[in-house]
Structure 1
C-alpha cells in the first residue's frame, strides 16, 4: 500500500505540474507588426518605424533588430527632444509599442547600400520571450510621415 500511495502522489504531482505548464502558455505574448516603413536615407544612416501590437496576456520586450542592410543597428528613444540609445523597449500585454517619427525608432548606421524608394528592407525583430519576427520595411519618400488615425 505504501508503494501505491507514493506512486499515486508522484502521478498527481506530475499531472499538476503539466497542467500548470499548459495554463501558463495561454498567457504568452502574441505579437503583430503593422505600419512599418523606412524614409529613403540621404546619408549612410537610416531610421525605421513600425508598431508592434501585443494581443497576448503577457508583456514582452523588443531587445534588438538585425538586417542585411547594416551590421550596426540600435534602438533609440526620444524624450524631451533628446535621443538616446536603449537596450530594449517594453511591449505591454494588451497594448502596443509605437516606433514613430519624433519618438522611439530603429537606427541603422553605416549602411551597406542605399535603399531607394519603392524597395523593401528586410529586418528581423528580436524579443525577450516571443520568437523573432521578420518584417519588410517599405522605403518611402524622405519626408514620409503617416497620419495618426
Structure 2
C-alpha cells in the first residue's frame, strides 16, 4: 500500500509542469494629457522560473482596446508604433522591460482620464504562467529613464 502511495506521489510530481514564475516590478501607467484617448503601461517582467514564457495579451477595463505594442525605427528619424501579435518573450531566469520608446502595454479608447495617483488594473496573460493581475499606479510625473529601445532582454 505504501509503495502505491509513494509511486503515485512521484508520478504526480513528475507529471506537474514546471511553470514559469512571473513577477512584475516597477510598473507605472500614463497618458499624455487628461483628455488623451490613449495611454500606456510600462514595467519590468521577471521570470524566476526554469521555463521560458511569453507575454501574449493584456486586458483592462480602462480602455476599449488593450494591445502589446513596440516602436520600430522606420529610418530617417521616423518611429512607428505597432501591435506585436506574437507578444514578448520572457526567458527563464531573466527579465523583459516594457519601457518608454520600446515595448509597452497600449490602452486605446480610454474610458476615463488617467489622473496622477490613480490605479489601473491590468490582466497580463502569459503562455505558461497564465493570467497575472497587476494594479499599476498612474504616474504622470515620472521621467523617461533614457530607456529608448529598452524592451530587450537583459540576459543576451
CA RMSD of aligned residues (A): 2.3
Structure 2 distance, partners of 1:139, 1:146, is 16
Offset at residue 147 of structure 1 (A): 6.9
Match of 1:132 in 2: 131
Offset at residue 20 of structure 1 (A): 5.8
> Quick check: which one's strand share is greater?
2
Match of 1:116 in 2: 115
Deviations 1:49-89 (A, max 9, x none): 01110010001111111111013010012233332211211
Q: What TM-score do the two structures reach when normalised by structure 1?
A: 0.78
Q: What TM-score do the two structures reach when normalised by structure 2?
A: 0.75
Match of 1:73 in 2: 66
Q: Where in structure 1 are there 5+ consecutive unaligned residues?
A: 1-10
How many residues are matched? Answer: 134
Q: Where in structure 2 are there 5+ consecutive unaligned residues?
A: 74-78, 148-156
Q: Which of structure 1's runs of 4+ aligned residues deviate more than 4 A?
A: none
> Quick check: which one's helix share is greater?
1
Deviations 1:109-148 (A, max 9, x none): 0001102011111111111111311111211125632477
Structure 1 distance, partners of 2:29, 2:44, is 13
Contact 2:31 2:38 in 1 (8 A): no
Say whether 1:107 aligns with 2:106: yes
